[in-house]
Amino acid sequence: MAASPYFTPEYISGFSGLEEDIRHQLLDEQKMTSDGITADSLLTIYRELYHRFEVLRKPRNIRLLPSRSVTTLESSGPGWKLLMEHHLDQGRESLESDVVIFATGYRSALPQILPSLMPLITMHDKNTFKVRDDFTLEWSGPKENNIFVVNASMQTHGIAEPQLSLMAWRSARILNRVMGRDLFDLSMPPALIQWRSGT
């Protein structure tokens, strides 16, 4: 299945109603859907490489090496030596490179104001907030006050939650809640994909 059907309000709605253990299982299964490469990106890379090597007949100086982790990085003369482990067959490989670019992802961090409020905030576990459908944190503070979060609820809203493609919908949902009325019409036509039974 293409990645795009996951990145819809309907998917978030279906995901958030699942049992916690099922949500964790789906997050593990779908990780590369949001963190991996898209079919469009693969096609663009393929076309560029085909043009470079087959049409222009340039030397094949590029290799794609999927399913590997760099385990060691050593200085080697003017460049670097990378030791790698293959995830599928546990094979070990080395690679010489002039340049190494670290694409290590990102790390979530709590805003500085939040630690003082943490005793009032309900958590799934040590690192995961309980986030309601309207992107408010569950907490024991004053009921008229809310803490809204964005990109902090993958465990409750699924892999679609941090995606930029849903920013307008997320923002409208939050603003409707803040204003206490529907400033933005978020009604949807019947979904093509029914993520839950009986929907």
61 Cβ contact partners less than 8 Å away, ≥ 6 residues apart: none
Per cent of the chain over pLDDT 90 is 35
pLDDT > 80? residue 189:
no
> Structural domain boundaries of the chain?
8-37+108-179, 65-105
pLDDT > 50? residue 2:
no
Mean pLDDT of the chain: 84
Give the predicted TM-score (pTM) of the model.
0.58
Phi and psi dihedrals of 3, rounded to 5?
Answer: -70, -35
